[in-house]
Each structure stands twice: as C-alpha cells, then as structure tokens.
C-alpha cells in the first residue's frame, strides 16, 4: 500500500525510531541475511554503523528473503543458521567458546563453490553490488 520510500507513511516518528534503533545497541550483535534478500543493502548499512561493529557478526547465506534457496542447490540452508544462533547465545550467555566461524566480521556462503568463508570485512571479491 506504500511502495514509495518518499511516502509520509514511512517517515512517521515510529518508523524514524525503528530506523535509528541500532544506535542503542551496546552488546555484540549477530545479523542473519541472505544473498538475494531485498533487505540486504539496508542490513549492510546498519551492520557497518553498529556501535559494537568490531564485536559483531553478519552471516550471509544462500537464498532469498524468507530463506527460500531459489534455484540454488543448497541442502538444509536453515540448519546452519540454527546451529550458529545457538552457539552465539551459548557463548554470550553461558560463556562457552565461540566457534572461529562466528568471529566478528562476515561469514559468507560462496555460491557455486558450495562452501562458507569468513572475512573480517566485506569481501572485495563479492564486489560492491550490495554495499
């Protein structure tokens, strides 16, 4: 009903507060995204601006918004997210060791290679398409 970003609906005090809410984050955060999610550009912008960015992690998996892998041949794309979320909470809430793949930065699924790769910053080989 409100497809244009310029629509006053999106500029209410409520939505302004939601857009600025990341500024109040004072603990490490883990963001979960998908390579073809229409929210990805905003997620990257927010992640980079987090006050705790140097302690936070963004996991970028295969698929589209909502987790649909589309035409990618990825088996069980949700299992990894579930396991990583539990490991993240076990570390920060229970003091258990954090797996190396969950170190601050980006954990990215490499389409075509069918593997995950960790980066301290946004990987240049992925390019600037989503930045």
Task: Split the chain (131 residues) into runs of 10 and give each run's mean pLDDT.
Answer: 88 91 94 88 92 95 72 64 93 96 92 84 63 38
Extract the tokens encoding 94. Answer: 């229970």
> Quick check: 129 and 114 in contact, CB under 8 A?
no
Q: Quote the pLDDT of residue 38.
A: 85
For the whole prediction, is pTM greater than 0.85?
A: no
What's 39's DSSP letter?
T
Extract the tokens encoding 78. Answer: 């949700």
Q: How far apart are CA 72 and CA 69, in angstroms?
A: 5
Q: How far apart are CA 15 and CA 21, in angstroms?
A: 10
Q: Quote the pLDDT of residue 72.
A: 61
The single residue listed with the structure tokens 């960015």 is 53
Q: How far apart are CA 1 and CA 16, in angstroms?
A: 19
Q: Which helix (H) or strand (E) holds 85?
A: helix 77-94
What's 53's DSSP letter?
G
């Amino acid at each position: 009903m409100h497809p244009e970003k310029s629509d006053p609906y999106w500029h209410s005090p409520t939505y302004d507060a939601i857009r600025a809410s990341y500024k109040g984050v004072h603990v490490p955060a883990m963001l979960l995204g998908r390579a073809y999610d229409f929210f990805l550009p905003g997620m990257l912008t927010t992640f980079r601006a987090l006050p705790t960015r140097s302690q936070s992690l963004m996991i970028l998996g295969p698929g589209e918004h909502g987790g649909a892998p589309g035409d990618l041949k990825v088996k069980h794309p949700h299992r990894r997210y579930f396991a990583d979320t539990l490991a993240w909470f076990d570390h920060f809430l229970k003091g258990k060791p954090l797996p190396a793949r969950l170190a601050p930065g980006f954990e990215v699924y490499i389409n075509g290679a069918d593997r995950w790769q960790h980066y301290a910053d946004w990987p240049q080989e992925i390019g600037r398409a989503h930045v």
